Amino acid sequence: MTRTDIPETTTQGGTALRRPKPRWLLGLGPLVLIAVLLGLFSLLNGPGLSRLGQGIPPKEEVAVEGIRLTPGQIILTVRNEGPDPVAIAQVNVSDYYAAFTQTRDTMAPMEASTITVSYNWVDGDPYELALVTSVGGKITAGIDAASLSPERDSSFFGLMALLGIYVGVIPVAMGMLWMPFVRRSSAAWVRGLIGFTIGLLAFLTFDATLEAFGLVSGNASFGGPLVVILGAVIAYLMLEAADAWMRGHRNVLTTGEPAALAPGTLALLIAIGIGMHNLGEGLAIGSAYAVGSLALGASLIVGFAVHNTTEGLAIVTPLARERPPFGRLALLGLIAGAPAVLGSLIGATVYQPTLAAFLLGLGAGAVGQVAIKLLPMLKDGTGRTLTPLTATGVILGIAMMFATGLLVQA
């Protein structure tokens, strides 16, 4: 039976031509072939390459990701960052070889192990730790001043949530109280305030980037410093995509001409960017407190509050010519400040340096993207972007964040 519903293509000689193969099949074919070849290569253990590593000592790269102190014990979380398996054979605490147990006798590449060392440490004393591998390698770590790690119970998590509120939600809300001042300012002064906002966002961008690079310096697990760049690029592209989508949606509803970035949208982007930054900041605070290296006194809380208050001003500045309802302002404040609570909880429980660096990279890319979006709002009637007032605003924004940042060094 011959099908007549699909026209048949023939040549001049009457020979029927084959129908072209589906495009998805042409794209899937090479992937299947690559998977088969890699599988065979792995199954056969690299034919001809088995003697390449003979006589070469294994490359051991182990990172100490966390240290907790409990009565009579030092608990370390370590990860194998190198390409070869690693086994910890001995643990030395300040020139004393201590008994220990570990969850993994041998760590495969990228695997982590928890090492529990039996040692009667003394509160306030410093200690040098050395992990000796089975082939004689040594991984070192230090404890500046020993102190009991807090128990991770409900009261601890409640404290972390309260800490996030103190350093994130409340300061941002306080900064948004400048809304009446911003609304009463002239157009020139609003441009100066926008310059101030750009300055503080620029400072946050560089500050978060440098802090993230510091977390993974000498730490090659999961890509090392590349995870910071990856986080920044992802956040930048996500906000750019959100911006383009919102502009396109406005085009459909208006005359079809390119839509300018609405003040409310810009305020939302600023809140999202600051929220991503505060997520990374809360992560650092929670993890530092969990290992007992952060003395959270009242003066330090005040320092964090002053440092983050200017973030609220950054959110309300684009809304100088609008009268947003209170509920909308409250939502913007929560978007910017509440991630500090989540970051504190994550940092206190599942802290991992690479994760922290990635989240800080997200924050850096987000606030950097928002700073770039604010630049067109600096233009005055003559089209100049940098005037004495706007340039002064940028400098003051950077100086303010630098000065208040000195209050939260811990």
Residue-by-residue DSSP string for 244-274: HHHHHHHHHHTTSSPPPPPHHHHHHHHHHHH
- Measured distance CA(345)–CA(336) in Å, rounded: 17
* Chain Cα centroid distance, residue 207: 12
276 phi and psi angles, rounded to 5 deg? -65, -40
pLDDT in tens, 291-340: 555 555 555 566 667 777 888 888 888 888 788 888 888 999 999 999 98
Assigned token pair, 32: 């299947």
Query: Do the Cβ atoms of 151 and 160 come closer than 8 Å?
Result: no
Q: How much of the chain is helix, strand and coil, in % rounded to 5?
A: 55, 15, 30
pLDDT for res 100: 94
What pLDDT is attached to residue 258?
A: 46
3-state secondary structure at position 64: strand
**What's the longest Cα–Cα distance across the chain?**
96
Classify 6 as helix, strand or coil. coil
Residues of the chain under the 50 pLDDT cut: 1-4, 6, 252-253, 255-258, 410
d(CA 68, CA 143): 10
What pLDDT, on the 0 to 100 scale, is given for residue 87? Answer: 92
Q: How far apart are CA 108 and CA 128, in angstroms?
A: 26
Structure tokens at 42: 């792995």
The Cα–Cα gap between 95 and 87 comes to: 20
Cβ neighbours for 135, distance < 8 A, ≥ 6 positions apart: 57, 58, 60
Q: Which residues pair with 62 in a beta bridge?
A: 80
- What secondary structure does DSSP assign to 173-222, as a single string? HHHGGGHHHHHHS-HHHHHHHHHHHHHHHHHHHHHHHHHHHHHTTT--GG
Reading phi first (left if > 0) and then psi (alpha if -120 to 50, else beta), residue 86 is in beta
pTM for the whole thing? 0.70
What are the Cα distances from residue 365, in Å, to 93, 282, 331? 41, 17, 22
Query: 127: which strand partners?
Result: 143
Q: pLDDT digit string (tens) for 66-108?
A: 888 899 999 998 888 888 899 999 999 998 999 999 999 999 8
Q: What is the pLDDT of residue 51?
A: 65
Euclidean distance between CA atoms 379 and 381, whole angstroms: 7
- Burial level of 140, CB count in 10 A (0-12/13-18/19+)? exposed
Task: Report the alpha-carbon distance of residue 110 to residue 215 in Å, rounded.
Answer: 17
H-helix segments, 81-186 = 154-164, 170-175, 179-184
Q: For domain 62-143, give its CATH number from 3.30.540.10, 2.60.40.10, 2.60.260.40, 3.40.718.10.
A: 2.60.40.10
Query: H or E segment at 229?
Result: helix 226-253
Neighbours of 2 (CB within 10 A): 4
- Cβ pair 82, 109 in contact under 8 A: yes
- Is 303 in contact with 285 (CB distance < 8 Å)? no
